[in-house]
A = this chain, B = another copy of it.
Amino acid sequence: MELSKDILFIKSPQDALQEVLNQLNPDKVAILVDENTARHCLPYFKHDQYLIIEIQSGEINKNLRTCEKIWEALTRAGFSRKSLLVNVGGGVIGDMGGFVASTYKRGIRFINYPTTLLAMVDANIGGKLGIDFMGLKNHIGLFNDPERILIFTDFLKTLPPRELRSGFGEVIKHGLIRDEHYWKQTSTSQFPEMEWKSVIQRSVEIKSEVVKEDPRENGLRKILNYGHTLGHAVETWYLNHQKSLLHGEAIAVGMILEAHLSFQLKLLDEKSLEEITGYITSIYEGIAIPPMENLMELMGQDKKNVGNEINFSLLEKIGKCVYDMKVDEKMIAAAIKFYNTLK
């Protein structure tokens, strides 16, 4: 099934790679994995034919030190401008591998095999590449696209349930910001019976449409930040405190908080707020949020801010999102209070 010229559903990771190699004709090939994709995904490839670069998984390792290790491995193996990097993993591998490839000898080609739901529906699409720096998410990076994104849905079977649930946070977001029907469909399906292929297809379509219209996030693309302004702050706080919170879990919290901001601004009606809050809390239970002052401080560094204002992307209704909405501290405090009263 072809989603676009560059994003394809595939039946065999190795056959798909061979086809890409025939087309791109690189002089050398490296596969970037972490310890999880080394175990679960690498066996799908003829991996003794390529340079394998293995890094430690996790957002905590998405930093310059890990980039240096990858650049070093490529350098020692004599990789040239005509070489290819194959990223096999989730968002961390895709974001960091893409950044490393885009800056090695001023840029070599790369392709992505997203192995998590999050990477399939979100992280791999839209050209945002980079690493964390000074405890700030994606603080150093650039925009660039892989030559191909190859989606092998069987990789989802290798995921821990919590990881799958995390990725689903972005699926929920896609419905909320752009497609009420998709929201209804996904929010009434049971997780084990979810048809992942059609879910991924619709999410990729939504994200691709938005990114295509505004690649550099000057306008429309900002709707993809729904749930992410407070969600990123929550995620960064957990990261800096070495506590475990996955991206989609943080964004789930962020979507509830920002749905409440939308309600406070009289954009979203109370019934929709309840519908959103009820469904999200039924999936993502008991996630604690950091104190108000920490969140404010972390949002001061958000890339989406200009000067001292805090901009939010908020819901007008389920299926429609507006951006550049100014929000003050009092409203954020009220949203946090609302969240903390939820059971």
A72 touches B143 (CB 8 A): no
A134 touches B307 (CB 8 A): no
B104 touches A71 (CB 8 A): no
A141-B300 Cα distance, complex, nearest whole Å: 29
Tell me whether A157 is interfacial, beta carbon within 8 Å. Answer: no
A139 touches B307 (CB 8 A): no
Which residues in window 13-28 of A have CB below 8 A to B? 27
Interface pick from A31-39, A76-84, A256-264, A284-292: A76-84
Contacts of A102 in B (CB 8 A): 142
B140 touches A142 (CB 8 A): no
Q: A27-B306, A80-B305, A80-B306 are in contact. Are A75 and B105 (CB under 8 A)?
A: no
Q: In the complex, which residue of chain B has the Cβ closest to the Cβ of A99?
A: B103
Question: Could you tell me which A residues sit within 8 Å of B by CB distance?
Answer: 27, 64, 68, 71-72, 75, 78, 80-82, 102-107, 128-130, 133-134, 136, 138-143, 300-301, 303, 305-307
Contacts of A129 in B (CB 8 A): 106
Q: How far is the CB of A326 from chain B (nearest CB, A)?
A: 15
A71 touches B306 (CB 8 A): no
Q: Which 3 A-B pairs have the closest CB atoms?
A: A105-B303, A106-B141, A27-B307
A103 touches B141 (CB 8 A): yes
A27-B308 Cα distance, complex, nearest whole Å: 10
A141-B103 Cα distance, complex, nearest whole Å: 5
Q: A27-B307, A106-B128, A306-B80 are in contact. Are A68 and B72 (CB under 8 A)?
A: no
Q: A134-B72, A134-B75 are in contact. Are A104 and B140 (CB under 8 A)?
A: yes
Q: A27-B306, A27-B307, A71-B133 are in contact. Are A106 and B64 (CB under 8 A)?
A: no
B303 touches A78 (CB 8 A): no
Contacts of A71 in B (CB 8 A): 133-134, 139-140
B105 touches A139 (CB 8 A): yes
A106 touches B300 (CB 8 A): no
Q: A64-B68, A134-B75, A300-B78 are in contact. Are A140 and B305 (CB under 8 A)?
A: no
A102-B141 Cα distance, complex, nearest whole Å: 8
Contacts of A128 in B (CB 8 A): 106
Can you list 6 A-B pairs, Cβ within 8 angstroms, ordered by A? Answer: A78-B300, A80-B307, A102-B142, A105-B303, A106-B130, A106-B142
Q: How far is the CB of A84 from chain B (nearest CB, A)?
A: 13
A307-B68 Cα distance, complex, nearest whole Å: 23
A196-B160 Cα distance, complex, nearest whole Å: 66
A177-B82 Cα distance, complex, nearest whole Å: 26
Q: How far is the CB of A306 from chain B (nearest CB, A)?
A: 5
Q: In the complex, which residue of chain B has the Cβ closest to the Cβ of A80?
A: B306
- List 9 other contacts, CB 8 Å, given A75-B139, A107-B143: A27-B307, A64-B64, A78-B300, A80-B307, A103-B140, A103-B141, A104-B140, A105-B139, A106-B130
A169-B64 Cα distance, complex, nearest whole Å: 35
A129-B102 Cα distance, complex, nearest whole Å: 12
B72 touches A103 (CB 8 A): no
